[in-house]
Chains A and B, each alone.
Chain A
C-alpha cells in the first residue's frame, strides 16, 4: 500500500508532555502538579447561562465570527481593561479556544519561508502551528537571568529581513514571567522600526500578581500591528468550553474568518452564550480565583526558599519555574526520578523548548493541601539528592 501520510505532519514532534502523561496515568496515588488549567469549576452563574441557552433551544450555528453581543462584550472588555478600541463588526473573531486563533492567525499571514520569532520556553503550539503554516520558526531562547522576559537585544539579534511575525507569549506558560510596560515599550520601538507584526497571546492577562497586565496593543503604534489572542479558559476557568478570540486589524481578521468559516463554521454556541455572562458579570470570580492563586504562589516561593531551590519570582499565570541545575540532571531525568521516587508529577522545562533545560514547570492550580504534600515530598527528594 502507498504511504498515505503527509510528510509535513509526520515530521512534527508530538508534544513532549505526552510521555509524562502516560507514566502518571499508570500511577494510582501520584500527585500531579502538571496541569495547565485552573482547578476551579467554571463559576455557577456562567454555567447556568450555558444551561439556560440550551433550555431556550439556542442550539444553532452562530454567525461565523461569533455572536454579535459576545463580540461587543469582548470590545468592552478591551476598552475597560486596556483602553484599546476595537470594532466588534470587523476586528474580532470568536474562536475555538486561543489555540485555534494561534493556528489560523499564522495561516492568514504566513507565506512560505517567512520567519516567525518564537521566544521559548513557551506554550507548545506556536512552533508546530508556524511550521504547518509554512513558516520558518526562529527560536529566541529566553534567559533565567532576565526572568525569562524578552529583551530588545535578544529581539534585535533574531530579526532578519525575512522576519514577519513575533510571537509574544506573556504572561508566560511555563515560566510565569510577565512583560511590564517598560519592557514592552522597548521592544515595541524595534518592532515598529523593523516593520514586523506581533501575535500576542495574552490568555493569562487576568492572572498577574504585580501591577495590572499591560497589553502590547495599548502601546502607541502597536494595535495596528498586533493580533491579540485571548480567551475564557484561564480567567474564568472555562477550559472545556473551548472558547477564545482574536482581535486585530480588520484585514487580518477578515482572512482568519475565512479559514475559520471553512474549517470550523463557528465556535460552540452554548459556550458563546456562557461567555457573554462571563464578560458581563465575572469580574468578582476572577478576583477570587486570582487571590487564591497568589496565595499559593507565595506559598511555593516560600517553600523553595526554605529548601534552597533557586527560582525567580514569577508574577503571572499559575506556574513557577524553579531551577534544578545544581543536581546535575536534565529536566527530564529530574522530573522522571521525582515522579517515580516521590510520586509527584511535574513537567520538565524542555517540554516548552530547549531553553527550558535545567528547569521544572510546577503548576499551582491546586489546593494548598495538595501543594503542601507535594512540597514536603520535594524537600525530601532534594535533600536526598544533595546528601
Chain B
C-alpha cells in the first residue's frame, strides 16, 4: 500500500484520507496511521503547492549554480553542503557526479540578489574553488507537470 499511497499523494497532496481509503481499498484508519508513520520516518517531508510564478506579477529569478569544492577530510562534501544549504534562499543542493560537485538552486527576487549571493557568500567560502551560474529563462515542466499544456478530453463522447 505504501508505494501506491505515496504515488497518489505525490501528485495530489490535498486528497483526503477518506478518498485515499476508497482508492486503495483499505480502512481510513490505516491511511491515517500510515501517513503519520511516513511523516515520522521523514519519508513525507512536506506538502507543497506547485506554482507557475510566471503567471503572476511577482518577480522570481531562479538560478542553477554549479559549484566546484574541495572536499574536507573526514567529512567529504557534507559539511560544505551544509554551509550552503542553511541559507534560506537556497532552494536545493544536490551532490552531483561529473564535471562539478554541488548543484545549488537559488531563488531570489532579482538578478542582483543572486549575483550578490554568489559573489559575497558562495565564492568566499574557503572550500569553494569555482562557481558557474545559469539563469532559468523559462520553465516548461516542473515536478512532472507541463506548464503549457492543459488536459482536454479529445475523445468522442460515446464509443462502443
Contact = CB atoms under 8 A, between A and B. Distances in A.
Q: Which of B24, B157, B158 has the most CB of A within 10 A?
A: B158
Contact of A345 (B7, B25, B158, B160): B158
A299 B21 CA distance: 9
B158 A17 contact: yes
A379 interface: no
Contacts of B156: 21, 35
B148 interface: no
A367 B11 CA distance: 13
A36 B160 contact: yes
Given A39-B153, A298-B22, A298-B25, A291 B7 contact: yes
A295 B157 contact: no
A25 interface: yes
Interface of A: 15, 17, 20-21, 24-25, 30, 32, 34-37, 39, 123-125, 173, 291, 295-296, 298-299, 302, 345, 347, 351, 367-368
B155 interface: yes
A21 B25 CA distance: 34
B4 interface: yes
Contact of B23 (A20, A37, A125, A299): A299
A302 B18 CA distance: 11
B94 to A, nearest CB: 25
Contacts of A367: 151
Given A39-B153, A295-B8, A21 B23 contact: no
B97 interface: no
B22 A299 contact: yes
B159 A37 contact: yes
A35 B158 contact: yes
Nearest to A366: B153
B22 A34 contact: no
Nearest to B15: A368
B7 to A, nearest CB: 7
Contacts of B151: 367
Contacts of A37: 155, 159
9 contacts: A21-B156, A32-B157, A35-B156, A36-B159, A37-B159, A39-B155, A124-B160, A291-B4, A298-B24
5 A-B pairs with the lowest CB-CB distances in the bound complex, closest first = A34-B158, A295-B23, A24-B157, A21-B158, A32-B157
A94 B143 CA distance: 39
